Amino acid sequence: MSGGKKPTVLIWIGAAILFLIIGSIGGYFLTSYLTNPYRTLEAFPVEKYLDDYRSLAGSRFKGELRVEADLGWKEGVGRLMLFSTPSDSRPVAVMIPAGLASIYFTKGQTYLAELEVKEGGLIYANSCQKE
C-alpha cells in the first residue's frame, strides 16, 4: 500500500512546481504590461497631425519612432530630431528635451516615446526608450 502513495506524492510535487513556474511567468508578463507607461496612450496620428496639428494640441500619444535625422542641439533646450513612424513614412520633427540628453540617437534606430503636441504644433517627447 505504501508503494501506491509515493507516485501520488511525486505527482502533487510535480504539479506544484509546474504551477509555480506558470504563475511566475504569468506574473512577469502581467507586471510588464501593467508597468508599461505607454499602454494607455493612443498611437500618434501622423496624417491627422500633418493635416491640422491644432486639433491635437495639448494631447499626448504613444509614438513608435524611427530616427531619420538629427537637426541640431541647443544647450538647455534640447535636440530637434526627424522621425518617421510605421504607419506613415513622412518625417515629423520632434523636440527631445534636455532632460533626455543621455539618449544617443542613431539613424535607423527605433524608439517608443510619449509625445505631446504643444503650442505652435511642435511635438515634444516627454519620455523615450529604445525598442
pLDDT digits (tens, 9 = 90+) for 61-79: 999 999 999 999 998 899 9
Confidence of residue 3 (pLDDT cuts 50, 70, 90): low
Annotation: CATH topology of 46-130: OB fold (Dihydrolipoamide Acetyltransferase, E2P) (2.40.50)
Rounded (5°) CA angle 51-53-58: 155
**Of 119, 129, 110, 116, residue with least CA distance to 37:** 129
Instruction: Say how far apart CA 51 and CA 123 lie, in whole Å.
Output: 15
Per the CB < 8 A criterion, the answer to whether 55 and 98 are in contact is no
Q: Is the pTM of this model over 0.85?
A: no
pLDDT digits (tens, 9 = 90+) for 47-56: 999 999 999 9
Q: Write the single-letter amino acid at 21.
A: I
